[in-house]
Homo-oligomer: A and B are copies of this chain.
Amino acid sequence: VFIESYTSIVPGLNIEELIKMTKKDVKIVSRNILENLSGRPLLEEALREKKVVLLTPGDPFIATTHISLRLTAHKMGIKTRVINAPSVLTAIFGATGLQVYKIGRIVTITFPYPEYNFYPYSSIEKICENIKHGLHTIALLDLKVEEDRAMTVAEAAELLLKLGSQVCDEILDNNTPIIVLARLGSDNELILTRRLGEVLNLNIGPPPHTLVIPGELHPLEIEALECFAHADRKVLESWNLKIKNLKRKH
């Protein structure tokens, strides 16, 4: 049994406990082994006719690493089987009451590299496209677990405002409602709806954090956000009006 812990963060994960519970030897594998060595040590164990389990937090198939590993195993004649776990991508619907049919393209807001003049413009553009079509956007926030860095909602809000004013005129501003989610599924999960300007100074504790930028909201969605995500109905209603106007211009 191997475990990797760099693609995501599981709040409250205790590997000692896991070893006790499963009575198995659980070894941590690094990003280096999985990406630079293409998971070689795991595949070699499997070739020695052993069953190899790789535990990964969250929903690893969002990224390509684990798909590549499965493809390599397949070519080496190693059978693979995926056992799925809950994912933030679907947990969001139960947590917020948002409707699955109104989700537009999913994005990840990545860390900018000002030294290379790199900013995540394309993610912000997709968010604005979704809003223009009245659709919600799930925005995953960048993680660099090995550097112990996880983007906070405050950092993401700053990027949304700064880049939004450059690439999508007057769609995102201080009054845009944002649903912030922290540690979803854990005992101390937090789900809040705030205006973008307020998120700039928001501290919601340790990662993982996720954002949802709502599109046009159905009355049942507004009600659910009031009950489950501390939303201010007036903010959501004026957002709905703004989107209706955007759609008209379109």
Residues in A lying within 8 Å of B, measured CB to CB? 59-62, 64, 66-68, 70-71, 74-75, 82-87, 89-91, 93-95, 97, 99-108, 135, 185, 220, 223-224, 227-228
Contact = CB atoms under 8 A, between A and B. Distances in A.
Contact of A90 (B89, B224, B227): B89
Contact of A91 (B82, B105, B108): B82
Contact of A104 (B84, B89, B105): B105
State the main secondary structure of chain A at its contact with B.
helix
Contacts of A62: 93, 100
B89 A100 contact: yes
A112 to B, nearest CB: 19
Contacts of A95: 82
A125 B215 CA distance: 20
A45 B102 CA distance: 34
A105 B220 contact: no
B86 A86 contact: yes
A83 B15 CA distance: 21
A235 to B, nearest CB: 19
8 contacts: A59-B90, A59-B93, A61-B100, A64-B220, A71-B97, A89-B89, A100-B106, A105-B135
Which of A89, A105, A228 has most B Cβ within 10 Å?
A105
Contacts of A68: 220
B220 A93 contact: no
Contacts of A102: 105
Contacts of A64: 99, 220
A94 B84 contact: yes
A53 to B, nearest CB: 15
Given A62-B93, A84-B90, A104-B105, 16 more contacts: A59-B93, A64-B220, A67-B94, A67-B97, A68-B220, A74-B227, A82-B94, A82-B95, A84-B185, A86-B86, A86-B87, A89-B90, A90-B90, A100-B106, A103-B106, A105-B135
